[in-house]
Structure 1
Amino acid sequence: MEDKSKVQERESWGSSFGFIMAAAGSAVGLGNLWKFPYLAGKNGGAVFVVTYLLMVILIGFTMMLGEMIIGRKTQLDPYGAYKKLNKNWGFLGSIGIVTAFLILSYYSVVGGWVIKYIIATLMGGIGVDKAAYFNGFIGAPIEPLIYHGIFMILTVAIVFKGISGGIEKASKIMMPALFIMLIIVAIRSVTLKGASQGLAYYLKPDFSKFNGRVLVDALGQVFFSLSLGMGALITYGSYLKGDEDLEKNALIIPGLDTAVALLAGFAVLPAVFAFGFEPSQGPGLMFVTLPAVFEAMPFGAVFGVIFFILVFFAAITSAISLLEVSTAYCIDQLKWSRNKSVTIVSSIMFVIGIFASLSMGVLSDFNIPILNLGIFDALDFITSNVLMPIGGLLMAIFLGYVWGVDEAIKEVKKSPNVKFKLEKLWIVLIKYVAPVAIFIVLLSSLGFLDRWLGN
């Protein structure tokens, strides 16, 4: 009886649309906007895009459905969810919680950079030497910490208000706004003089450029872009009601995430080609190359502000899902109130983020032993290259062989009006294809495949 009343008292999404927007917001993050265009540029343009789309269908759908099944079935945080399904597997939920916790600790620092760039672009530019401006800012001891704090406070303010009143409401505003702004920037980009070269590169596949590196990069980007293996979709799935069509949602959410990535390619690559820049990786593309591109185009300041606001929306919708993972654990397992959970968890994250930020400047000479990386880079490596792939791999094994596909399928078909059309395909994918694919992602992210892939 206690379990039942707990399920009834648990918060839930107010609407299917609200859940989809929140889950898509969790998936859509900075990786869609800076990593996808870069990887497309590095891996032969259109041939990478085609490979990526195939991987979304095979791996993205499979894993996302799996996480939502576990969440809705148990109505618990990731640790409680796995433990409820198999008492020996609570550790797997713990991996997801730790991963989300550590990611937000440094992700919030980058979110702060985005706020700084919205203000800087509004105030009239970023100076002549974009790289020097960026490096000078992130290396400063105080200013980045102020923006890190602002970003964390905004994230906390949303999560304080709960599921339907905070996360859902914010996502229903920010995600449609993100799409509209991204379309505006993409239209501006593809209509620039000289953009046709970038468009051709992006849209015309040259399959002679297909190789193992293209496949592995596409696989990895799908896995990381959809926020798999960190408990976010298990947590969000735990607030779903029993009549929700999980299969449909598991197709729509990766579809929306992919639409953002593809639009980001349209927004970035034609403009970068038009002005003769190289699409650089990570922060270089976002904070150095693109400000120079916007400065070179007519009304560039307007498009620059729009772009950084949409980047902010992408960052904060991911951040609220990351904070909710740890918050749900504290509420479910430690029986804390939401306000107490959010306050304590976010405060610890903020402190870790201070050290991550300072590792770009005053602590730049300090490296984490064994990894030989600074604090920021070490947090990124541990979460992205180790914990997320391990969490995803073990989840596929858990669903395929421990808890079992029969139980998972029963959960999908729980509502009398829902049919599981892709049931047979999903069984093959979760038992055989996903574990192998994610194991390849793990090996690649740890550098074991570099020799074979030509790195």
Structure 2
Amino acid sequence: MRSHWSGRLAFILAASGSAIGLGNIWKFPYITGQNGGGAFVLAYLITILLVGFPIFIAEIYIGQKAQKNAVSAFDVVHGKPSPFKAIGAMGVLSAFLILSFYSVVGGWILSFEWQALTGGFSNKAPEQIEGMLGALISDPVQVLAWHTGFMVLTAAIVIGGISKGIERWSKILMPGFFALLIALLVFSMSLDGFGDAFAFLFQPDFAKLTGESLLEAVGHSFFTLSLGMGAMITYGSYLAKGENLVKTAAAVTFLDTLIALIAGLVMFSVTFTYGLEPGSGPGLMFSTMPTLFSQMSFGSILLIAFFALVGFAALTSAISLLEVVVSYFVEEKNMSQKQATLLFAGIIWAVGVLCALSFNVLQGTFDFFDTFDKTTTNILMPLGGLLTAVFFGWCIPSSEVERIVGGKTIFATGLTFVSRFVAPIGVGVVMVVGLINWLF
């Protein structure tokens, strides 16, 4: 008998854990800073509604309807054999590749959390703190040890299955995550830069909005919800058939967006307080924030809380990625949850070793980290999301869409229209531009 979440709240916590990852805590603040603030945020919110939310509904619908893994679900919903099952196969491959390098980044976070706990940031000059990430990733022994630790934590949760593993730990990790984030938000409100941070995020200056910014907003609105990697199809397959999909999807989308905005407020409050530029780029989390926190009263406590927050976000996303792969092999190859978890956690760890060594031993030969990142970001995930939108918009009858949303309403008509035209076009443009930028 197939396992199920104990209820809607359990799914919302687990799905939010999957969606709320480094994209919210790390990427959203720095791309918002690079793209001018409020106008970019407004564009992001609009594209969440027009691109992310409809594809999110489509993915959890497919999983809930089929009660199967990300590949077989399309055979059940569409009829066997469905050519659209290639979407699920791309999702499993995406999850595999993403986790291989995501675990390496997760290891960096564990290392920085350990430094925070043991006073590793104390009495260090700003330039020393800024060089800590470089020192870590250039040391193959250290970076592999932390990569191993992160993958062990991920496998230890997934091995327990849905009820005893993922749901149980989501109920611990996500409330802990929310508590830490609210504590950091309350702290940021006491800083001189909070007002400037609020204005930067919520007062649009459309002169700063470029075509490239709009494409970035569309792309991030899609990726932030863990779409195109089989995660929401897999998690949706453990959702009981009576659960309301639209309300559930809306709750997760709202939480994911709210967390990104709060994370931006926290980071920019600190940044503006110390008179730095908000467009610090990817170094915002691993150099700028530790440097600034270390200069504050109670900075050591704040650093512990900050990297614990980021670590929780990374771990809850990682377990959903591993579950996508494990779920497929449990159902299709008759493996036990324990066997599949141990086997594929080990294989993904081994592939992740290549990603970790891309910054040191293999530097200058072949960059596995960047190649896997760009392949999933520019090809597999957007293509999977685009085809999912097409499948939902053109292959699911209008009567079924009306049943999902609770009647023949404007929302039902709009959902079909967006799935058929708006979402595929938006994701398609992002994919083409991403490929051009990568290749040329």
The two structures have a TM-score, normalised by structure 2, of: 0.94
1:323 aligned onto 2:322: yes
Aligned to 2:161: 162
Matched with 1:94 is 89
**Per-residue deviation, 1:164:** 1.5
Could you tell me how far apart the structure 1 residues matched to 2:281 and 2:348 are?
22
Match of 2:119 in 1: 124
Q: Which residue is 2:429 aligned to?
A: 440
Task: Name the residue aligned to 1:356.
Answer: 355
Name the counterpart of 1:103.
Answer: 98
Which residue does 2:267 correspond to in 1?
268
- Find out whether 1:396 has 2:396 as its counterpart: no
Instruction: Give the alignment of 1:23-422 within 5 angstroms.
Output: 23-84=15-76, 85-86=78-79, 87=81, 88-126=83-121, 127-128=124-125, 129-279=128-278, 283-367=282-366, 374-401=367-394, 403-406=395-398, 408-409=400-401, 412=404, 422=411
Secondary structure at the aligned position of 1:142 is classed as helix
Change (3 A) 1:361 1:187: same
| 1:361-413 CA distance string (max 9 Å, x none) | 1111112xxxxxx1111111111111101111111112222x23437526626
Cα distance change on mapping 1:316 and 1:193 into 2, 3 Å:
same
Structure 1 contact 137–143 (Cα < 8 Å) conserved? yes
Measured in 1, the distance between the counterparts of 2:385 and 2:428 equals 9
CA-CA distance at 1:352 after TM superposition: 0.7
Give the C-alpha shift of residue 282 in structure 1.
6.0
Q: Name 1:370's counterpart in structure 2.
A: none
Give, in angstroms, the shift of residue 355 of structure 1.
Answer: 1.1
Task: Report how many aligned residue pairs link the two structures.
Answer: 432
Deviations 1:306-354 (A, max 9, x none): 0110101100110010000001100111111111111111100000111
1:88-125 deviation per Cα after TM superposition (whole angstroms, max 9, x unaligned): 22222100000001100110111111111111011113
The 3-state SS of whatever aligns with 1:297 is: coil
Q: Is the 8 A contact 1:69 1:411 kept in 2?
A: no
Q: Go from structure 1 to structure 2 and tell me whether the alpha carbon gap of 1:172 and 1:382 turns closer, same or farther (over 3 Å shift).
A: same
Letter in 2 for 1:399: F
* Paired residues of 2:108 and 2:146 also in contact (CA < 8 A): yes
**Deviation at residue 283 of structure 1 after TM alignment:** 4.5
Q: 1:408 to 1:339 in 2, by over 3 A?
A: farther
Given that 1:35 and 1:281 are in contact with CA atoms closer than 8 Å, whether structure 2 keeps it comes out as: no
Equivalent residue number for residue 6 of structure 1: none
Distance across 2 between alignment mates of 1:281 and 1:360 = 22
Q: Which SS does the other structure have where 2:140 is aligned? A: coil
Q: Which amino acid aligns with 1:137?
A: L
In 1, Cα distance between equivalents of 2:115 and 2:301: 12
Q: Is the 8 A contact 2:192 2:269 kept in 1?
A: no
Q: CA RMSD in A?
A: 1.9
Alignment partners' CA distance in 2, 1:194 and 1:301: 20
Q: How far does residue 206 in structure 1 lie from its aligned partner after superposition?
A: 1.4
Equivalent residue, structure 2, for 1:5: none
2:418 paired residue number: 429
Report the AA paired with residue 270 of structure 1. Answer: S
User: C-alpha distance in 1, partners of 2:240/2:281?
Assistant: 38
Question: Structure 1 residues 405, 55: CA separation in 2 closer, same or farther (over 3 Å shift)?
Answer: farther
Sequence identity (%):
41
**Structure 2 residue 3 is the aligned partner of structure 1 residue 11:** yes
In structure 1, C-alpha distance between the alignment counterparts of 2:378 and 2:275, rounded to whole Å:
32
Question: Matched residues in 2 for 1:281 and 1:102: separation?
Answer: 28
Query: How big is each residue's C-alpha offset from its partner over 1:248-289, in whole Å with a ceiling of 9 and x where there is no partner?
Result: 111111110001100011110121121123345665111111
How far off is 1:419 after superposition? 5.2
Instruction: Show structure 2 runs of 5+ residues with no match.
Output: none
- Partner Cα separation in structure 1 for residue 228 and residue 111 of structure 2: 30
Which among 7, 13, 21 is matched to residue 21 of structure 1?
Answer: 13
Q: In structure 1, how many angstroms separate the alpha carbons of the residues matched to 2:154 and 2:302? A: 25
Deviates more, 1:333-342 or 1:119-128: 119-128
Distance 2:353 2:166 in 1: 25
2:352 is matched by which residue type in structure 1? G
**Displacement after TM superposition at 1:450 (Å):** 12
Amino acid at match of 2:25: L
Question: Aligned with 2:132: secondary structure?
Answer: helix
SS in 2 for 1:242: coil
Deviation (angstroms), 1:203: 2.3
